[in-house]
Amino acid sequence: MSQHENHGDHHNHGSLKSYVIGFILSIVLTIIPLVMVMNNMLDKTTTVIWILVMAVLQFIVQLFFFMHVREGEKPRYNVQTLVLGLVIVFTIIAGSIWIMMFNKY
Amino acid sequence: MATQHDHAHGHDHEHGHEEHEQLKVLGFWIFVVTDCILFGSLFATFAVLMHNFAGGPTGKELFELPGIIASTFILLTSSFTSGLAVLAMNKGKVKEMISWLAVTAVLGLAFVVLEINEFTHLMHEGATMATSAFWSAFFTLVGTHGLHVSVGLFWMVALMIQLKRRGITPVTRRKVTNLSLYWHFLDVVWIFLFTVVYLMGVM
Q: Which residues of A touch B203 (CB under 8 A)?
A: 37, 44, 47-48
Chain B residues in contact with A55 by the CB 8 A cut-off are 191-192, 194-196
pLDDT at A82 over 90: yes
How many beta-carbon pairs below 8 A join chains A and B? 129
Question: Pick from B47, B86, B181: which is nearest to A96 by CB?
Answer: B47
Q: Which residue of A has its CA nearest to B176?
A: A13
Q: Residue B1's pLDDT is what?
A: 42
Does residue B156 contact residue B101 with C-beta atoms inside 8 Å?
yes
B152-179 per-position pLDDT tens digit: 999 999 999 999 999 999 999 999 999 9
CA distance A12 to A14: 6
Give the residue with greater pLDDT, A93 vs A1: A93
Return the closest-CA partner of residue A98 out of B47, B134, B39, B138: B47
Q: How would you write the pLDDT of chain B (203 residues) with one tens digit per residue? A: 444 444 444 455 666 677 788 889 999 999 999 999 999 999 999 999 999 999 989 999 999 999 999 999 999 999 999 999 999 999 999 999 999 999 999 999 999 999 999 999 999 999 999 999 999 999 999 999 999 999 999 999 999 999 999 999 999 999 999 999 999 999 999 999 999 999 999 98
Q: Is the bond leading into A33 cis (omega within 30 degrees of zero)?
A: no
Residues of chain B with Cβ-Cβ distance to A6 below 8 Å are: 90-92
B55: left (phi over 0), alpha (psi -120 to 50) or beta: left
Within its chain, how far is the Cα of A46 from the centroid?
Answer: 20
* B22 contact A CB<8A: yes
Nearest Cα neighbor of B43 from B199, B201, B192, B200 is B192
A89 vs B40, B72, B77: nearest CB: B40
* Nearest-angstrom CA–CA distance, A81 and A83: 6
pLDDT value of position B3: 44
Task: Report phi then psi at A66, rounded to 5.
Answer: -105, -45
Q: Does B50 touch chain A (CB under 8 A)?
A: no
**CB of A89 less than 8 A from some CB of B:** yes
Q: Report the pLDDT value the prediction gives residue A80, as an integer from 0 to 100.
A: 92
What residues of chain A lie within 8 A of the CB of B83, using their CB? 13-14, 19, 22, 66
Cβ burial of B46 (10 Å; 0-12, 13-18, 19+) is buried
Whole-structure pTM value? 0.88
* ipTM (interface pTM): 0.84
Considering only CB atoms, which chain A residues are within 8 Å of B36? 85-86, 89
User: How far from each other are the two terminal CA atoms of chain A, in whole angstroms?
Assistant: 65
In Å, how far are A9, A77, B15, B37 from A82, measured between CA atoms? 24, 8, 27, 10
CB–CB contact A88 B202 (8 Å)? no
Verify whether the Cβ–Cβ distance A52 to B195 is below 8 Å: yes
Q: What residues 98-137 of chain B have any CB closer than 8 A to a CB of chain A?
A: none
pLDDT tens digit sequence for A2-56: 333 344 444 455 788 999 999 999 999 999 999 999 888 888 899 999 999 999 9
Q: How far apart are the first and last CA of chain B?
A: 55
Mean pLDDT computed over A89-98: 96
For residue A8, what pLDDT is reported?
42
Domains of chain B: 63-202 (1.20.120.80)
Give chain A positions within 8 Å (CB) of B200: 48, 51
